[in-house]
Copies of this chain bind each other. A is one copy, B any other.
Amino acid sequence: MRVCVDAMGGDNAPGSVLEGILSALAADRDLHILLTGPAPVVEPFAAAHPDRVEAVPTSQVIAMDEHPAQAVRSKRDSSIVVGCRLVREGRADAFFTAGSTGAAMAAATLVMGRLRGVSRPALAAVFPTVAEPLVFLDVGANADCKPENLLQSAHMGSAYASVVLGCSAPRISLLNIGEEPTKGSQLALEAHELMAQGVPGFAGNLEANHLLDGLADVVVTDGFTGNVVLKLLEGTSRTLLSQVRDALTATTLSKLGALFAKDRLAVLKKRLDPEAYGGAPLLGVAGVCIIGHGNSTPAAVKAALEVAARAVRGGLIDSIADRAASGMAASLDAAKSTGESRERRSEGPA
């Protein structure tokens, strides 16, 4: 199992990345790391762990604020682009970076390429819920989606829930603003129809107030709405927990209460921590690609590497490729039969 890691990704790189790698190596004896980044960073680390880490020195780094596609095209020897190339060439089984999400998505799409039957890769997030974790996508790969993008996301998310989260029969829902199939935007209405025809385990529309209630294993939406949801959850968790903390430290009596309750609150905080679920997988590209949050801690890097290893061992890419191909075939059939029924209708009673 060889995972390529971008040593330079994220606000705390390379420190957090290297520390996370060490934890992951300790936990998984079959894990090997290919480390891309500047020679002065990657070579001493590889030299210190010769059996487990191989240095792949690169001469360029893509900064967080660069234009993603331009940076990927002009910086062929950057730690992100080289990492994706190692996967394409079969030298690595997966790639992880906590660097620029846009650049990582662009590099994976351009360098690894898309799987057949996938018109647009989608970025997924895994959320804690009151029950099992939820695969939620697209969280930002495509701000403007077509109904078929949502259909493909359903297939890809289902594969991820099966392979990586061990969910045997994923329940798939469409995020919408009403439960009934007749509710929603034009996009949601058309996506609902496609998903009802072609997605095994489709459980209909889900409203956002029930997103974290554990009613679905995979929830699909467009990349604009999905990104808003992701960031809103991040913001509200932070705001609410800090308000709870403020409330608990407002008076001497409540401070005493907080002291007595602090173990349980720590358990809660940990359970709500999205880092435990290890980065966002980019689904639909021809290789395992996990993108970490810019402020990934060592624990988040470790979790992401575990997810990458699980995805490789479980055959995530083949699973997505199978579903995408059959989904594509089914969609073509559906389009054909819809076309035929339209023809029949338009022939009508002459």
**Which chain B positions have C-beta within 8 A of A208?**
227-232, 235
Task: Assess whether A47 is interfacial by the CB under 8 Å rule.
Answer: no
User: What residue in chain B is nearest A244 (Cβ atoms)?
Assistant: B244
Mark A236-249 against chain B: 1 for CB-CB distance below 8 A, else 0.
11111101101110
Is the CB–CB distance between B257 and A224 below 8 Å? no
A34–chain B nearest beta-carbon distance, Å: 31
Cα–Cα distance between A208 and B301 once the two chains are bound (Å) = 25
Is the CB–CB distance between B256 and A175 below 8 Å? no
Q: For this complex, into which size category does the number of interface residues on chain A fall?
A: 35 or more
Also in contact, A247 and B268, with CB within 8 A (given A240-B237, A257-B260): yes
Is the CB–CB distance between A250 and B237 below 8 Å? no
Cα–Cα distance between A240 and B239 once the two chains are bound (Å) = 11
**Which chain B positions have C-beta within 8 A of A247?**
261, 264-265, 267-268
Cα–Cα distance between A268 and B247 once the two chains are bound (Å) = 7
Cα–Cα distance between A267 and B267 once the two chains are bound (Å) = 24
**Which chain B positions have C-beta within 8 A of A228?**
175, 177, 208, 221, 225, 228-229
Is the CB–CB distance between B251 and A264 below 8 Å? yes
Stretch at the interface among A6-14, A74-82, A183-191, A273-281: A183-191
Task: Assess whether A299 is interfacial by the CB under 8 Å rule.
Answer: no
Task: Assess whether A272 is interfacial by the CB under 8 Å rule.
Answer: yes
Task: Assess whether A144 is interfacial by the CB under 8 Å rule.
Answer: yes
Cα–Cα distance between A253 and B259 once the two chains are bound (Å) = 9
Task: Assess whether A318 is interfacial by the CB under 8 Å rule.
Answer: no
Task: Assess whether A89 is interfacial by the CB under 8 Å rule.
Answer: no
Also in contact, A254 and B260, with CB within 8 A (given A207-B231, A208-B235, A232-B229): yes
Cα–Cα distance between A253 and B256 once the two chains are bound (Å) = 11
Is the CB–CB distance between A211 and B224 below 8 Å? no
**Which chain B positions have C-beta within 8 A of A196?**
none
Cα–Cα distance between A264 and B254 once the two chains are bound (Å) = 7
User: What residue in chain B is nearest A246 (Cβ atoms)?
Assistant: B268
Cα–Cα distance between A188 and B265 once the two chains are bound (Å) = 39
**Which chain B positions have C-beta within 8 A of A209?**
231-232, 234-235, 238
**Which chain B positions have C-beta within 8 A of A258?**
257, 261
A16–chain B nearest beta-carbon distance, Å: 21
- Given A177-B224, A236-B237, output 8 extra A-B contacts at Cβ < 8 Å: A143-B177, A143-B186, A144-B185, A144-B186, A233-B236, A244-B265, A250-B267, A256-B257
- The 10 A-B pairs with the shortest beta carbon distances in the complex, nearest first, are A257-B260, A257-B261, A209-B235, A257-B257, A208-B231, A208-B232, A209-B231, A254-B261, A143-B185, A247-B264
Where the two chains meet, the residues of A that have a C-beta atom closer than 8 Å to any C-beta of B are: 130, 140, 143-144, 175, 177, 184-186, 188, 207-213, 221, 223-225, 227-241, 243-244, 246-248, 250-251, 253-254, 256-265, 267-268, 271-272
